[in-house]
Amino acid sequence: MKKGRLSIKLLLLQIAILFQVSAWAQNTVNADSLMHTAHDLAIAGKYKKAIAMAEDLLDRFPEYSDAYVLKARVMAWEKNYVAAINEINKYIQEDSENLDAHLALCDFYRWNEDFESSKRVAQNALEIFPENEKLLLQLTKADFVAEEYESAKESGNDLLEKYPSNKETKEILRTIEMRKWRNEIRLEHYVDGHNKPFRRRWHMSSIGYGRNTSFGMYSAKAYIGDFLHEGDALYDTDVSVQYSLEFYPKFGKYDYMYLNYAISDDEFFPKNRIGTEYYHVFKKSAVEISLGYRYMQFTPAEDPEVNVNIFTGTLAKYFRNYWVTFRPYVIDNGDDTFFRYSLSVRTFLKPEMSYVQWLVGTGTSTENPVFYTSGPPSDGLDTWRVEMQWKQRVSKLISLELEAGFVNSEFNYERRRNQVILRSAISFLF
């Protein structure tokens, strides 16, 4: 009898253990499923739902640490950095040995541009996780984003000694080398042409020198332009010259300006050109706005002087790896006032300073050299254009640009023509 009772007790114990293991496994599956759903919601940009799902998960499974980190990260993705920092700090006080929580806190401080705090958190965490690769990378990232390049190089090289295959560190060090330029010599050639109502080609070449300083970028350029008709030779005798100065002063990290003055004694360029525009970046929303003005004074050989006033601006926003810009123009040529618009989408490439850009717009762009050389624009003539531009940093010292555009316009009421635009440029950086 005793053996029978013992066997029954062992059987019941095994069944109890089996139920507990099954319940634990079921809870784990349920928690993982909820976590996966919350993660997918966050990636899809449904931040409110992701936070609610993470909170529900924590109510049911308080020990599920990944949910704390996810909830805080989603808060940070919503630009609520202070709330995210407070949230993850509370969790770290309860569990100081959660590496993901420390890494998240480093990110939050860096995204909030508190670089010293980001480094401090990483250094403190390294006492718990000595020589951890991800924490060492946080030190390099903080210095890099703060533009403390020498310190970033030092910590990055130290990291690569321990972890030679760390790709992100290699990319940071490569980017630092790419940014180590102060001077630029730029050569550019532009051509556009049409065949109606006659064959005409406009060529313009330029050479410029620019310098990048802590106050902003400034440059001086000289342009030479020539209208070619059937049988004419390029840059033969009747050419036009323009001299231009540009400056992009910076006012802190989120404000800068564009200033320009150009002068010419030749009829194909404006006699005087003035350009100014103020830009402001809204950090939390990744939105940039600007308000600008252009003035052009044309002095044709036979016609009376024409003064063109242009009011413009931009509304631009980052969408992940895209930069979308809308720009309107209000143009007053003394006789008429009319409007032009353009929309551009830029995709950033690697390495830095590289991108592909697409543009659609109405009218001939007022920023395009053809605008300067063709006199004041005409109201009432329908024009639209498409352009594609590619810029590629091919080495530390060289950057290339190629652009192609197509314009379809009325040159007389109810008569249209096609116009092709081509541009190439090379910059030497040192």
- CATH classification at residue 216: 2.40.160.40
| 136, 250: one domain | no
Q: Give me the pLDDT at residue 335, please.
A: 78
| 145, 216: one domain | no
Q: How many residues does the chain have?
A: 430
Residue corresponding to tokens 């310098």:
211
| 235, 140: one domain | no
Q: Give me the pLDDT at residue 23, please.
A: 39
| 22, 110: one domain | yes
Q: Give me the pLDDT at residue 319, please.
A: 87
**Total domains in the fold of the chain:** 2
CA–CA gap between residue 74 and residue 374 (Å, rounded)? 53
| 322, 261: one domain | yes
Give tens-digit pLDDT for 113-133: 999 999 999 999 999 999 999
Of the three residues 141, 158, 179, the one that is the final residue of a domain is 179
Q: Give me the pLDDT at residue 24, please.
A: 40
Domain range holding 205? 183-429
Q: Give me the pLDDT at residue 27, please.
A: 45
| 278, 245: one domain | yes
| 168, 308: one domain | no
| 195, 277: one domain | yes
Which residues on neighbouring strands pair with residue 420, listed in sequence order?
193, 406
Q: Give me the pLDDT at residue 227, please.
A: 82
Q: Please, what's the largest Cα pairwise distance for the chain? A: 126
Q: Give me the pLDDT at residue 367, please.
A: 63
| 158, 201: one domain | no
Give the DSSP per-residue string, 266-325.
STTS-SEEEEEEEEEEETTTTEEEEEEEEEEEE--SSSPPEEEEEEEEEEEEEETTEEEE
| 171, 214: one domain | no
Q: Give me the pLDDT at residue 387, please.
A: 96
Of the three residues 138, 162, 179, the one that is the final residue of a domain is 179
Residues of the chain with pLDDT under 50: 1, 11-13, 16-29, 375
| 362, 282: one domain | yes
Of the three residues 133, 151, 179, the one that is the final residue of a domain is 179
| 309, 206: one domain | yes
Q: Give me the pLDDT at residue 165, please.
A: 95
Considering the entire predicted model, what is its pTM?
Answer: 0.81
